[in-house]
A and B are shown apart, each in its own frame.
Chain A
Amino acid sequence: MPDSGIAALYWGVTLSMQYLEGRRYVVLAIFTLVGLLFAGRLFYLQVLDDSYKVAADRNTLQRQVQVPYRGQIYDRHDSLLVTNTPVYDLMVVPREVKHLDSTKFCRLMQMPIEDLRLGLKAAKVYSRVKPSPLVQNLSTPEMAAIQDNLIDFPGFRTQARMARAYRTQNLAHALGYVGSITPKLLEAPKYAHYAPGENVGISGLESFYEPVLMGRRGVQYRLVNVRGIDKGAFRGGEFDTLSQAGQDLHLSIDASLQAYGEKLLAGRRGSIVALDPKTGEILCFVSAPHYEPQMLTGKGMGNRYMDLLRNPDRPLFDRPLMATYPPGSVFKLVNELVAMQLGVVGPNTGFECNQKLVHCTHRHEYPANVSIAIKNSCNPYFYQVMRAAVLRGQSPNRFEDARLGLGQWQKMVKTFGLGERLGVDMGHEKRGLIPSPEFYDKLRGYHHWNYKTVYSLSIGQGEIGITGLQMANVLATIANRGYYYAPHFVRGIGATGQPLPQYRERHYTAVDTTLFKYLIPGMQAVVDGRGGTGSFASLAQYGISVAGKTGTVQNAHGPDHSTFAAFAPANDPKIAIVVFIENAGFGGTFAAPAAGLMIEKYLRGKVAPGRQRWENWVEYGVAPTHH
């Protein structure tokens, strides 16, 4: 091989040395070879390799998204709660900035000179010819104050965009807030079509109804030149779409009732949830302490958020949905229903108030029937009710008997929407806990526990956790005599005026609807009976019969929690309400009058002037509950 190659080379050289005329072919061959090389290289670049076409589109195509007008939010009486307002960003185009008097500029903008320096540096890094934001979220008055002077500062201009604006100081926990989408959210498939920096509902209804509120983005494909300057529509706008405004939400919340509830619990920790039992609509959703929704919008939002986060009373904590407490005596109602369904007790069953079994709150008459027991919230009575329900002799082994009985009890209790998410239109709902036999197996060991171990459940104490919303839903179920609609905030979405379909579905419990009526006289007696525990909630003077139940929840964190659950009017319930006030003592003391005021406000539209002493009592009756 080397031989012949070298020989060919040698002869080639020799020949072209000798016959110059032949050299023209050598020259021609060089020309042709280079031509072929180019044709081949171009074939590779232009035909075979697609990456250059992609790169070309990336060069010139700019996708411009038009963010639609975000849907507004109204209360049940169509008063506007949440809307949008223009806010202004101060933009800077570094290349256009000339002879900047930074002292004068910073005085005008009321910003530290260091911020200006850093902002300009960041803008230059981003682009010298495209605008970058220097100060964001200026309000209209703030913008007006600087706009006329901006003419002295070439390269700076304001740019308007829409931000959330609130026409209410209340309901922050339910409304949630809107903010720039976080990198973490961007990774979720649900938010795949969002761009960094775009606004998104971060929590509450803003988050749950994000797709509805957001509307549909308009997309325009624009051609840009090498400096990013717009050069017109791509293919005459063939692929462009128009933006579609977001749909409005009509809440079931009664804004004035909400404001009233927040006022009552101002300075306390706790919650109020009120439902319309006939529909499952949430009328009022108070989480105390509250904050104003506008705190989480506009300039300085980040700082205010951090302040709220650091507050020891945890104002950001959405108590009605996320705080699970033992329900206390209110839970006796559920136990009674379960026991009646199991046939182990009837409305006229009497049990002695035997304080050897469990301590009772006060001395009272013999609980000859369920009404008397409820009225007096007799602990020994309900101890025995639940024992009858759990220990039914299903097994000769007393441990196994308790195990089987508790298992059935747990399944039936869960049909009240307890220990499960109710499916409210909010993302962060907690399940709560209705303990199962397995729970105690794990805690105590298999066949190492019996009714004596779990009896606290009979009076709503112990290893049980229920949210304020779940408790309100139990009251709505009793008010309806046996069924509920999943609680929800939104009664009408956009033009349809309908809630989500799952909120039009009736849920029945494991207890026959015929049995519920036996609770009502006792619950009415709690409020209006002689010596009833919840008499502070009475609205008898207005002819409104309130059916309720007090609760006093022992807890490890100080004084008892005060709770009161009620519905009214007893015969045609229009509102079911649960008031929960942390560390406020006996349920009848503060929670009951608060519930009474709320019911009055809702049913009568106002609170009679003569009852303002109750307002003062609820609001200022005890010293503020700071630790």
Chain B
Amino acid sequence: MSPVTTRSSRSLDWPTLLLYLVLVGLGWVAVYAASYSPDAPAHPLSTLPFGELMAFNWFKQLIWIGTAVVLIGILLVVDYKAYDTFAYVLYGVMIVLLLITLVVARPIAGSRSWLEFGPVRLQPAEFAKFTTALAASRFMAGINLRNQNWRDQAVLAGITLLPVALILASNETGQALVFGALLLAYFREGMSPLILLLLAAGGIILLLALLVPKLWLLGGFTVILLAAFALNAKLWRHHLILSISVWVAVVGMVFAVDFFFNNVLHPYQRQRIEMLIDPGKDPLGKGWNVTQSKIALGSGGWLGKGFLNGTQTKFDFVPEQSTDFIFCTVGEEWGWAGCLVVIALYLTLLGRILFVAERQKSVFGRTYGYCVASILFVHFAVNLGMTMGLAPVVGIPLPFFSYGGSSLWSFTILLFSLLALDAHRKQDLLR
């Protein structure tokens, strides 16, 4: 190959590549177990004709992994400067693609987000994360967030929110939610931590507003404020206006949540949140996913039931078991020990990406690295949280594990475009 490849492969971040390969490998084993059927025990060495093998998710996943390897080769060969240069172009193309999807896609499982090319289906929203991250990083390189320039901030918000709006329009709430991950990257580049804090506080109040009756919540909050005031009147007198405005904000928010929950959310979205709060309310209906997912995980025990011995997943009790609920197979067949290994692998990968991001010499590279880490993290957190009943059931895949070409490709592109940048960081310095 060309000398460029040689150079880039020599300076490729091998720990990240290794973690990627281990995760993809384990993921494939989990997909194999989840789609394994004792009635038709086909395996990679069986001599079934290609057509019949294509009926199995694990076989298709094998093909997806193969194409992902080719994709990695391409990503590493492409001139690293292209990511920077074509960031806005790619972003624009993606916006157009999302618009087209919105028009031409036929509804699949309640959302119009899939483009179909014969037997192959792609979800543009998966790739929108990548292009949005690129565009945001490119923009970030030219501004300083700490300067509190309102125009810059508005443009950044616009870059982020445009694809979010389009994806929301196609009814893919989960995918839209993932864009919140970019806030972590912006935070690293100087966004006020107050935004994160307010969002966190807002999230807590939102949860409380759903769980606790309104009057109790407001009463309790007022009592806490008054108690704090009574404890140290002097300190609080200085912040009287602040305290009152916080109180007003909370009251307003509680009522807003109520309004939002009852009047704005789609019934299915409301159900997902209701089921998160109390899946036992309707275990055979709307709470089925969460209930069965917890049963599958919970029946795993310390060390699990062993490879291919998971009854809950094998007998289809868990829905979407090779895609969104793939972690149930991990939990059931490999037990707590296996889950711990997988979680540790993810945390190690995320830490390594942060390390790689920090050693970038350009703001673009660093921001992009943070974007990659954050996007992977949000997928990891929401997906696992969903299987354990800690997050509402939104259809987002577990990176590298879940069956499906779109997600594997998009995560591969995310990760290896960063590694490509990283491999050339010294050249960037020389530039």
Interface of A toward B, CB cutoff 8 Å: 1-3, 13, 16-17, 20-21, 23-24, 26-28, 30-32, 34-35, 37-39, 41-43, 45-47, 49, 51-53, 55-57, 59-60, 223-227, 231-232
**Residue pair A27, B38 in contact (C-beta under 8 Å):** no
Q: Which residues of A contact B294 (CB under 8 A)?
A: 45, 52
* A443-B340 Cα distance, complex, nearest whole Å: 83
- Flag whether B302 is at the interface (Cβ < 8 A): yes
**Residue pair B302, A2 in contact (C-beta under 8 Å):** no
19 contacts between A and B (CB under 8 A): A2-B235, A17-B146, A20-B146, A20-B188, A31-B347, A46-B336, A47-B336, A53-B299, A53-B301, A56-B295, A56-B298, A56-B311, A57-B299, A59-B295, A59-B312, A59-B315, A60-B315, A225-B316, A226-B317
* A76-B388 Cα distance, complex, nearest whole Å: 69
Q: Which residues of B contact A30 (CB under 8 A)?
A: 184, 377
* A393-B312 Cα distance, complex, nearest whole Å: 87
Q: Which residues of B contact A223 (CB under 8 A)?
A: 311, 315
Question: Top 7 A-B pairs ranked by shortest CB distance?
Answer: A52-B298, A56-B299, A225-B315, A45-B298, A60-B311, A226-B316, A46-B336
Q: Which residues of B contact A27 (CB under 8 A)?
A: 184, 187-188, 354, 370, 373-374
Mask for B297-312, Cβ within 8 A of A = 1, else 0?
Answer: 1111110000000011
**Residue pair A2, B312 in contact (C-beta under 8 Å):** no
Q: Which residues of B contact A21 (CB under 8 A)?
A: 358
**Residue pair B339, A42 in contact (C-beta under 8 Å):** yes
B85 CB to nearest chain A CB (Å): 26
Known: A16-B193, A59-B312, A60-B317. A46 touches B385 (CB 8 A): no
**Residue pair A31, B188 in contact (C-beta under 8 Å):** no
Q: A42-B340, A45-B388 are in contact. List 13 more A-B contacts (CB 8 A).
A: A13-B193, A17-B192, A17-B193, A21-B358, A24-B188, A31-B373, A38-B388, A46-B298, A56-B296, A56-B299, A59-B292, A60-B311, A226-B315
B108 CB to nearest chain A CB (Å): 22
Query: Which residue on chain B has the smallest CB distance to residue A18?
Result: B146
Partner of A42, one of B39, B197, B336: B336
Q: Which residues of A contact B301 (CB under 8 A)?
A: 46-47, 53
Q: Which residues of B contact A38 (CB under 8 A)?
A: 339, 343, 384-385, 388, 390
Size bin of chain B's contact surface: 35 or more
In this complex, which of B187, B298, B354 has the most chain A Cβ atoms within 10 angstroms of its Cβ?
A: B298
**Residue pair B335, A46 in contact (C-beta under 8 Å):** yes
**Residue pair A59, B193 in contact (C-beta under 8 Å):** no
* A223-B358 Cα distance, complex, nearest whole Å: 53
- Flag whether B381 is at the interface (Cβ < 8 A): yes
In this complex, which of A23, A41, A56, A60 has the most chain B Cβ atoms within 10 angstroms of its Cβ?
A: A56
* A231-B374 Cα distance, complex, nearest whole Å: 42
A90 CB to nearest chain B CB (Å): 28
Query: Which residue on chain B has the smallest CB distance to residue A6?
Result: B235
Partner of B347, one of A35, A45, A49: A35
Query: Which residue on chain A has the smallest CB distance to residue B190?
Result: A20
Q: Which residues of B contact A26 (CB under 8 A)?
A: 187, 193
* A38-B344 Cα distance, complex, nearest whole Å: 11
Main secondary structure on B side of the interface with A: helix
Q: Which residues of A contact B377 (CB under 8 A)?
A: 30-31, 34
- Flag whether B429 is at the interface (Cβ < 8 A): no
A223 CB to nearest chain B CB (Å): 6
Query: Which residue on chain A has the smallest CB distance to residue B197?
Result: A13
* A57-B311 Cα distance, complex, nearest whole Å: 9
Mask for B338-360, Cβ within 8 A of A = 1, else 0?
Answer: 01100110110011001000100
* A213-B41 Cα distance, complex, nearest whole Å: 44
* A227-B317 Cα distance, complex, nearest whole Å: 9
A26 CB to nearest chain B CB (Å): 7
* A27-B193 Cα distance, complex, nearest whole Å: 11
Interface of B toward A, CB cutoff 8 Å: 38-39, 146, 184, 187-190, 192-194, 197, 228, 231-232, 235, 292, 294-302, 311-312, 314-317, 331, 335-336, 339-340, 343-344, 346-347, 350-351, 354, 358, 370, 373-374, 377, 380-381, 384-385, 388, 390
Partner of A13, one of B194, B302, B346: B194
**Residue pair B388, A41 in contact (C-beta under 8 Å):** yes
Q: Which residues of A contact B192 (CB under 8 A)?
A: 17
Known: A27-B184, A226-B315. A47 touches B302 (CB 8 A): yes
- Interface contacts (Cβ under 8 Å), in number, total 133
Query: Which residue on chain A has the smallest CB distance to residue B317?
Result: A226
Query: Which residue on chain B has the smallest CB distance to residue A228?
Result: B315
Q: Which residues of B contact A232 (CB under 8 A)?
A: 38
A54 CB to nearest chain B CB (Å): 9
**Residue pair A46, B381 in contact (C-beta under 8 Å):** no
**Residue pair A24, B315 in contact (C-beta under 8 Å):** no
* A225-B343 Cα distance, complex, nearest whole Å: 29
Q: Which residues of B contact A16 (CB under 8 A)?
A: 193
A225 CB to nearest chain B CB (Å): 4
**Residue pair B350, A31 in contact (C-beta under 8 Å):** yes
* A24-B335 Cα distance, complex, nearest whole Å: 32
Q: Which residues of B contact A1 (CB under 8 A)?
A: 231
* A101-B34 Cα distance, complex, nearest whole Å: 42
* A21-B317 Cα distance, complex, nearest whole Å: 47
**Residue pair A34, B317 in contact (C-beta under 8 Å):** no
Q: Which residues of B contact A34 (CB under 8 A)?
A: 377, 380-381
Query: Which residue on chain A has the smallest CB distance to residue B236?
Result: A2
A234 CB to nearest chain B CB (Å): 9
Known: A31-B350, A47-B336. A231 touches B38 (CB 8 A): yes
**Residue pair A35, B346 in contact (C-beta under 8 Å):** yes
Q: Which residues of B contact A46 (CB under 8 A)?
A: 297-298, 300-302, 331, 335-336, 339
* A59-B189 Cα distance, complex, nearest whole Å: 50
Query: Which residue on chain A has the smallest CB distance to residue B184?
Result: A27
Q: Which residues of B contact A2 (CB under 8 A)?
A: 228, 231-232, 235
Q: Which residues of A contact B189 (CB under 8 A)?
A: 20
B383 CB to nearest chain A CB (Å): 10
Q: Which residues of A contact B358 (CB under 8 A)?
A: 21, 24
B34 CB to nearest chain A CB (Å): 13
Known: A2-B231, A17-B192. A224 touches B315 (CB 8 A): yes
Known: A31-B377, A43-B336, A59-B312. A3 touches B298 (CB 8 A): no
**Residue pair B347, A32 in contact (C-beta under 8 Å):** yes
* A200-B296 Cα distance, complex, nearest whole Å: 39
Q: Which residues of A contact B38 (CB under 8 A)?
A: 231-232
**Residue pair B315, A231 in contact (C-beta under 8 Å):** yes
Q: Which residues of B contact A59 (CB under 8 A)?
A: 292, 295, 311-312, 315, 317
**Residue pair B315, A42 in contact (C-beta under 8 Å):** no
Q: Which residues of A contact B193 (CB under 8 A)?
A: 13, 16-17, 26
Q: Which residues of B contact A41 (CB under 8 A)?
A: 388, 390
Query: Which residue on chain A has the smallest CB distance to residue B316?
Result: A226
A57 CB to nearest chain B CB (Å): 8
Query: Which residue on chain B has the smallest CB distance to residue A229?
Result: B315
* A59-B328 Cα distance, complex, nearest whole Å: 15
Q: Which residues of A contact B385 (CB under 8 A)?
A: 38
Query: Which residue on chain B has the smallest CB distance to residue A35?
Result: B347
* A458-B312 Cα distance, complex, nearest whole Å: 78
Partner of A24, one of B194, B292, B331, B354: B354
**Residue pair B295, A52 in contact (C-beta under 8 Å):** yes
* A467-B295 Cα distance, complex, nearest whole Å: 62
A10 CB to nearest chain B CB (Å): 11
**Residue pair A42, B297 in contact (C-beta under 8 Å):** yes
B358 CB to nearest chain A CB (Å): 6
Query: Which residue on chain B has the smallest CB distance to residue A225?
Result: B315
A361 CB to nearest chain B CB (Å): 78
* A367-B140 Cα distance, complex, nearest whole Å: 135
A50 CB to nearest chain B CB (Å): 8
Q: Which residues of B contact A23 (CB under 8 A)?
A: 187-188
Query: Which residue on chain A has the smallest CB distance to residue B232?
Result: A2
Q: Which residues of B contact A49 (CB under 8 A)?
A: 298
Known: A17-B192, A60-B311. A3 touches B184 (CB 8 A): no
B19 CB to nearest chain A CB (Å): 14
* A57-B315 Cα distance, complex, nearest whole Å: 12
Q: Which residues of B contact A56 (CB under 8 A)?
A: 295-296, 298-299, 311-312
